[in-house]
Structure 1
Amino acid sequence: MTDAEAPQILIVDDARDIREPLGQYLRKQGYRTQLAANAGEARRTLDEARIALVILDIMMPGEDGLSLCRWLVEHKGPPIILLTAMADGTDQIVGLEMGADDYVTKPFNPRELLARIRAVLRRVPEPAAVVASDRRRFGAWVHDPAAQSLVHDDGHSVDLTTGESRLMGIFLDHPATVLSRARLLDLTAGRDSKAYDRAIDNAVSRLRRKIEDDPARPVLIVTEWGGGYRLAAEVTPA
């Protein structure tokens, strides 16, 4: 995913040695991050930035995390994952009853937190991606989203399923851009919790069988190992 498209996560924790390394870790995983040392900074960030998820420490001086959690839920803010050092579960239960989406207990494994972030984000509906309704050309093909079809320069056409046409439109919206499986999943499935990364691989394989001369050696939708997929063709209005 490009930097501008990556979900933005707000980390609220008064412990600098937690929020800064965690921010660096999440950026390496492809997310954008904002850091706040207290509830006041968090509120200002929420007013200024589009935040997809808040990682919120419960134990903070001044306004604590539970108070900010309550405010976020009342104002229909982004989903919340609580961080807590409390082992008895009381704060976790209170936070979940308030409307937090999940929690992890300190000290935590960053990979576990990452898995929980991905799970929460997939459960949260996001506005459907806008796919252009106009016909567009790439390589020797023209995509007609209204007809859900592709027409080749030699005159033959192939029908697409709704999902295939939507996926094709996403690639055409982002030419020459590496799109991760997670990003494609978000854009095509709308964070449907039943969808999974392998579904993207299957959908790309079906598209390749329809548009590539040799699906085993694709030149239009190419694989970026460790990154995702990229449309390797110029896109122009048809």
Structure 2
Amino acid sequence: MVSKILVIDDDPAVRSAFRLILEDNCFSVREAENGEQGLEMARTERPDLIFLDLRMPGIDGVETLRRLKTIDETLNIYIVTAFANEYMEQLKSIHDEGFQFELASKPLSSLQIRNIAQTATPPEERCATQHKLVLTLYVVSLNNETRRLVEQITEALTNLYEPGHWVFDVVEVLGMPEKALEKDVFATPMLVRDMPEPVLKLLGDLSRVPSVIAAITTQAKGIGVQTIII
């Protein structure tokens, strides 16, 4: 039996990471880039499990949750967010109204994502996992130097992993203004970290290339699914 997973998140890097981690492990993964699209997908085909972001353009995750439960109150929904505190009053309110959901804080490891997804599949029907790697590089913006970095990492991944067993996403922070710099905290869907000044120096430090390649090599020799956040 293939369990149907729906990922509702406006960040394509997050959605592709969920897909790589879960596909080929008895999961069928569909992606929605906003709440409206996620609602339509849930109406078309009932998912066994929904991973739901909170901060999204259009209707936010709380309102999306409310409308999903209106479609089917038995839907199994995991809210996965880095902004739980910001939405805590709304989440408490909707919980008090009787809407059931689970809450997990980003960043989640690949193992955590897979373990949560396993709850949608009976133990006797679960498939064995294959080693995969999800690598996300956050940069202020792409320039000639960062493009060379991307080429080096891509070459290392190609040499170490079979096709389909890795994904490498590059997220330009300047292209995500609402999730970039808020209250002196650098917040992205897969990473929340205090940001010392200057921002560009930390995100564009090319001296870290050898350590990145070493981390990829180490992961290639390991077992299980891993996520490396740079």
Query: What TM-score does the superposition give when structure 2 sets the normalisation length?
Result: 0.47
Larger Cα-atom Rg: 1
